[in-house]
Amino acid sequence: MGIVSPGFTGRRRPGGEHLPPGQYLVTDFPVLSAGPTPKVDTRAWQLQIRTETGQVHAWDWTAFRQLPAEDITVDLHCVTKWSKLGTGWRGVSLDTLMSGVETAAEYALARSYGGYTTNLPLADLLDGQAWVAFRYDGDDLEPEHGGPARLLVPHLYLWKSAKWLTGIDLLETDEPGFWETLGYHHYGDPWREQRYWGD
């Protein structure tokens, strides 16, 4: 525990007791991104999974939307301290996307329209832990929140859930992404408060 702040009692919010350390509860949906919001037309949209041998699996919007999708209700934890509970999404499981992909890679690098990247172990994308989401709260995913489609990896801090997703590279060696190069943690487990390098 830190030093006591004289005169601070806090303003505890109901439901905030079960959040990861250092987080607070919000009910709106803050937007965070490092630059302007890319405008991505679904007619030109493409998602590619590229393996470590250079094999490419690609979907256009029509093919992607024909894949089996599922409704997901998950908690979100942003490294900027807010958490939002019980958010409703619809998306395609990475297990579905990876089902025809042969790989021995251990790492993944997600790539976004606009140039954003983020890295994570491939294992964290599999076994029902990650989706490519295209609906939020019953509506098409807004550009501000990563539409037309974003990665959703809710067990890690939200910067790992790359907005405006267009590719996932499967890699034999870990390659730090955008924020991971700029001081943020390579893994980003909110329950272990892995915000920054060395956490």
Given the rule CB under 8 A, which residues bind another protein? 1-12, 22, 24-26, 28, 30-38, 80-82, 114-115, 144, 178-179, 181-183, 195-199
Select from 66, 37, 62, 68 the least CA-distant residue to 150: 37
Minimum CB–partner distance for residue 34 and another protein (Å): 6
Minimum CB–partner distance for residue 13 and another protein (Å): 8
User: Do residues 195 and 182 lie in contact, with contact meaning Cβ atoms separated by under 8 Å?
Assistant: no
Nearer to another protein by C-beta: 6 or 68?
Answer: 6
Nearer to another protein by C-beta: 38 or 101?
Answer: 38
Nearer to another protein by C-beta: 116 or 131?
Answer: 116
Minimum CB–partner distance for residue 189 and another protein (Å): 16
Minimum CB–partner distance for residue 51 and another protein (Å): 28
* R_g of the chain, CA atoms, integer Å: 17
Euclidean distance between CA atoms 160 and 125, whole angstroms? 11
Dihedral (Cα; 30, 114, 143, 72), 10-degree rounding: -70
User: Do residues 181 and 125 lie in contact, with contact meaning Cβ atoms separated by under 8 Å?
Assistant: no
Select from 186, 189, 173, 74 the least CA-distant residue to 131: 74
Helix (H) / strand (E) element for 94: namely: helix 94-98
Residue 32, classed as helix, strand or coil, is: coil
Nearer to another protein by C-beta: 20 or 57?
Answer: 20
Nearer to another protein by C-beta: 5 or 68?
Answer: 5
Minimum CB–partner distance for residue 89 and another protein (Å): 20
